[in-house]
Amino acid sequence: MSSAKFDAAVVLRVEGLTAGYGGSPIIENVSIEVFAGKITAIVGPNGAGKSTLLKAIVGVIKVSGGHVFVLDDETTNFAPEKMVRRKLAYVPQVANTFPDLTVRENLEMGGYTRKDGTAERIVELCELFPDLHASLRRKAGALSGGQRSMLAMARGLMLDPAVMLLDEPSAGLSPLLQTALWEQIEKVAATGVGICVVEQNTRRSLRHADWGYVLVLGKNRLDGPAEVLLHDEEVIDLYVGRLS
Ligand SMILES: Nc1ncnc2c1ncn2[C@@H]1O[C@H](COP(=O)(O)OP(=O)(O)OP(=O)(O)O)[C@@H](O)[C@H]1O
Ligand SMILES: [Mg+2]
């Protein structure tokens, strides 16, 4: 797959997705594209349906209309465990690590379907996430909030995904730790993984993203290069706020 937006492959394509929790749809006719090695940010007000969109993509909730393609294959309504094998990793906002297991055990569980190369992959990820290296034998529950977010991402990377969906990875972190986390997300993207990140901190996520989608009331409102959205009057007034 290719597109005119970037000189990179489309690793995730969502076309006209409609989904919800049994009542009326929460997201309606939503379309997005995620590119290899690029960061795509989904922004929008509370309750816009950002987390619901991720859950629908990864098969946690059922899709009632539209299509999901990962790499070149259609994966609409595949179960989450099947999506992992299709090279899509999903890091939910909560319950994304096992607090009673060590960092290493968490990583091993993240790679549970690997036939081989688990130890080697952990070494690679320790290079990518130096903070985790020193903590391999610590319980995940004893890590700081920033380290736990890094571990959740590293776990998701154990199976060499082509796409990674991150739901509010920097929620609850101090500004300094948010900066460190975003630098880490950029490092992961630089390895070729297509990142789709949902964040409440609109300004910060658009600063780091390559492309942004604004979602309002479960529908696509507008999208464009993140840099352009950051200076778009409507986006600033509604979601970013003016710098004083
Ligand atoms: N498990 C659920 N069952 C029923 N309705 C739900 C469920 N989860 C979310 N909703 C509803 O779906 C709508 C969208 O919620 P969602 O969590 O996707 O928004 P969001 O954009 O991620 O918001 P936030 O920025 O607060 O995380 C809300 O009206 C919410 O009440
Ligand atoms: Mg959410």
Full set of structural domains in the chain with CATH: 1-83+162-244 (3.40.50.300), 88-160 (no CATH)
pLDDT tens profile 15-45? 999 999 999 999 999 999 999 999 999 998 8
In this structure, the residue with its CA closest to atom 5 of ligand 1 is 21
* pLDDT for the residue numbered 2: 47
Would you say the CB of residue 47 lies under 6 angstroms from ligand 1? yes
Buried/exposed 198-226: b ≥16 CB within 10 Å, e otherwise = bbebbebbbebbbbbbbbeebebbebeeb
Distance 115 CA to ligand 1 centre (A): 37
**Percentage, residues of the chain above pLDDT 70:** 96
Taking 50 as the pLDDT cut, the residues of the chain under it are: 2, 244
Token pair listed for 31: 């379309």
Put the strands of the sheet holding 63-70 in their side by side order. Answer: 27-35, 10-19, 63-70, 73-74
What is the best residue among 24, 50, 62, 197 to mutate for testing ligand 1's pocket, by most ligand atoms within 8 Å of CB?
50
CB of 52 within 6 A of ligand 1: the answer is yes
Q: Which ligand is nearest to the CA of 46?
A: 1
Q: Please report the pLDDT score of residue 45 as a whole number.
A: 85
pLDDT computed for residue 66 by the predictor: 98
Number of H helices, E strands in the chain: 10, 10
Instruction: Provide the whole-model pTM.
Output: 0.94
- Mention every residue, 6+ apart, whose C-beta is less than 8 A from residue 149: 169, 170, 173, 181
- pLDDT number for residue 241: 56
3-state secondary structure of 225: strand
**In the prediction, which pLDDT does 94 show?**
82
| pLDDT of amino acid 46 | 86
Calculate how far, in angstroms, residue 57's C-alpha sits from the geometric centre of ligand 2: 14
Give the residue among 76, 69, 83, 74 at the shortest CA–CA distance from 34.
Answer: 69
